[in-house]
Structure 1
Amino acid sequence: MSTVTFRVTDEEKAFIQSMADLNGLSLSELARTKLLEGLEDQIDMALYEKAIKSHELNDESISHQAMLQELGL
């Protein structure tokens, strides 16, 4: 397993430690979990934005009423 080090102020460390304590995690577990969650959220948002742009370029949406007619309802 690798180690990653980053610098924070004393106040930031105290805050991060208190949040780790609140969540019942070690400082390392909290930092790792929140960092990875944040990066995964960033990837999800980028994929969402790409999908929206693709949809806007090739919008094949129809209204609810048109769908009912197409289904013969």
Structure 2
Amino acid sequence: MSTITFRVTDDEKAFIQSMADLNGLSLSEMARTRLLEGLEDQIDMALYEKAMKAHELNDESVSHQDMLQELGL
């Protein structure tokens, strides 16, 4: 297992520690979990934006009314 070190102010450390305590996690686990979640969210958003651009270029949406008509409802 590797170790990553980063600097924070005393106030930031106290805040992170209090949030870790609130969530029942060690400071290390809190930092690791939130960092990885944030990066995963960034990837998800990039994929979403890419998919939306592709959808806008080739929009095959059907209105609710057209779908009802197509289904004979």
Any stretches of 5+ residues in structure 2 without a counterpart?
Answer: none
Cα deviation for residue 68 of structure 1 reads 1.3
Number of the residue aligned with 1:67: 67
Number of aligned pairs? 73
- Normalising by structure 2, we get a TM-score of 0.95
Instruction: State the AA in 2 paired with 1:19.
Output: M
2:13 is aligned to: 13
**Deviations 1:17-61 (Å, cap 9, x if unpaired)?**
111111110000000000000000001111110111011000011
After TM superposition, give the deviation of residue 72 of structure 1 in Å: 2.0
- Identity, % of aligned positions: 89
Deviation at 1:9, TM superposition (A): 0.6
TM-score where L is the length of structure 1:
0.95
Question: Which protein, 1 or 2, shows the higher relative CO under an 8 Å CA cutoff with sep ≥ 6?
Answer: 2
Distance in 1 (CA, whole Å) between partners of 2:35 and 2:2 is 15
2:5 partner amino acid: T
Q: How does 1:39-54 map to 2 (within 5 A)?
A: 39-54=39-54
Deviation at 1:71, TM superposition (A): 1.6
Extract unaligned runs of 5+ from structure 1: none
Q: Which runs of 4+ in 1 moved over 4 A?
A: none
